[in-house]
Amino acid sequence: MNEDLNPEETESGKEHLKAAADEFKVTAGGKIEDLRQATGQKIDEFQKAAEGKAQEVSDAAEKAWSDARSKGKSWLAEGEAYVRNNPTKALVVALTLGIILGLRLRK
């Protein structure tokens, strides 16, 4: 079967295959570099989107903390005003709660 092939044609075929393989290698390298760049761009986009969401969450948490803090200060001020306006009532309520709490913790 190999008797019909002449050595010059075999060498020419090898060179042609080698050239085709080199061309494929260069093309594949270019495609790989294109994919690498596209992947890098997507990673940057996702990172920027994640940073934006993290900032939104941080802002929302900061606002919630600020609201809770101001509400707590408001309740404290209201409580102090109530105690100042109704000292006897506040004292009776505090003593009653203290006795109930003391009895519960004692058991």
Q: How far apart are alpha carbons 5 and 71 in whole angstroms?
A: 94
The Cα–Cα gap between 78 and 85 comes to: 10
Query: What is residue 3's predicted lDDT score, i.e. its pLDDT?
Result: 54
Q: How far is it, in rounded angstroms, from Cα 39 to Cα 50?
A: 16
Q: How far apart are CA 53 and CA 14, in angstroms?
A: 57
Per-residue model confidence as pLDDT tens digits over 36-89: 999 999 999 999 999 999 999 999 999 999 999 999 999 999 999 999 999 999
pTM: 0.49
